[in-house]
C-alpha cells in the first residue's frame, strides 16, 4: 500500500447536507486524485491535485469541490449532497518516482438519502 487512508470509511447523510471526505497520504506524493466508482461506469475522475493549492477538474466534477492546503491531505466536499452522489469514493496518489502508477486508498462508501 502507498500509505493512503480515507475517512470516514462509511457515511450516510441526507439530501442537501454538506459532506467532506478526507484523503491522507504519508509519502509526500505530489499528485492526488478523487474518483467515484459506480456499477457499469468503472472509476471516473472527479478532481485532482498537482500540488498544494493546485487543483483541477476531472470528468465528473459538477457538485464537488476540493482543497489541498497541505501535501498530505486532499479534501473532497459535496456542498449540498444529492442522491446521485451516492457512490464509493476512492482517493489515489501517483507514484512520483517515475512509474506514473496510481495507487488507491481503501474507499469511502457514501449514501445520500
Partner 1 sequence: AQSVSQHNHHVILSEAASLELGCNYSYGGTVNLFWYVQYPGQHLQLLLKYFSGDPLVKGIKGFEAEFIKSKFSFNLRKPSVQWSDTAEYFCAVYNQGGKLIFGQGTELSVKP
- Comparing CB distances to partner 1, the nearer of 16 and 106 is 106
User: In the beta sheet, which residues pair with residue 51?
Assistant: 54
CB of 4 to partner 1, least distance (A): 9
Judged by beta carbon, residue 45 or residue 111, the one nearer partner 1 is 45
CB-nearer residue toward partner 1: 57 or 67: 57
Rounded to the nearest whole angstrom, what is the least distance from the CB of residue 15 to partner 1 in the complex? 26
**CA nearest 112: which of 5, 3, 21?**
21
Q: How far is the CB of 107 from partner 1 (least distance, A)?
A: 5
SS3 per-residue string spanning 8-75: CCEEEECCCCCEEEEEEECCCCCCEEEEEEECCCEEEEEEEEEECCEEEECCCCCCEEEEEEECCEEE
Which residue ranges make up the site for partner 1 (CB under 8 A)?
33, 40-45, 48, 58-59, 90, 99-107
Q: How far is the CB of 16 from partner 1 (least distance, A)?
A: 29
62 vs 99, beta carbon nearer partner 1: 99
Amino acid at each position: 500500500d502507498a500509505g493512503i487512508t480515507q475517512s470516514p470509511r462509511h457515511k450516510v447523510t441526507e439530501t442537501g447536507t454538506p459532506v467532506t471526505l478526507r484523503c491522507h497520504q504519508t509519502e509526500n506524493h505530489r499528485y492526488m486524485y478523487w474518483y467515484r466508482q459506480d456499477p457499469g461506469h468503472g472509476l471516473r475522475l472527479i478532481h485532482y491535485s498537482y500540488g498544494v493549492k493546485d487543483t483541477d477538474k476531472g470528468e465528473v466534477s459538477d457538485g464537488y469541490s476540493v482543497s489541498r492546503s497541505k501535501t498530505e491531505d486532499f479534501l473532497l466536499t459535496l456542498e449540498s449532497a444529492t442522491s446521485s452522489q451516492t457512490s464509493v469514493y476512492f482517493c489515489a496518489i501517483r507514484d512520483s518516482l517515475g512509474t506514473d502508477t496510481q495507487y488507491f486508498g481503501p474507499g469511502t462508501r457514501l449514501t445520500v438519502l
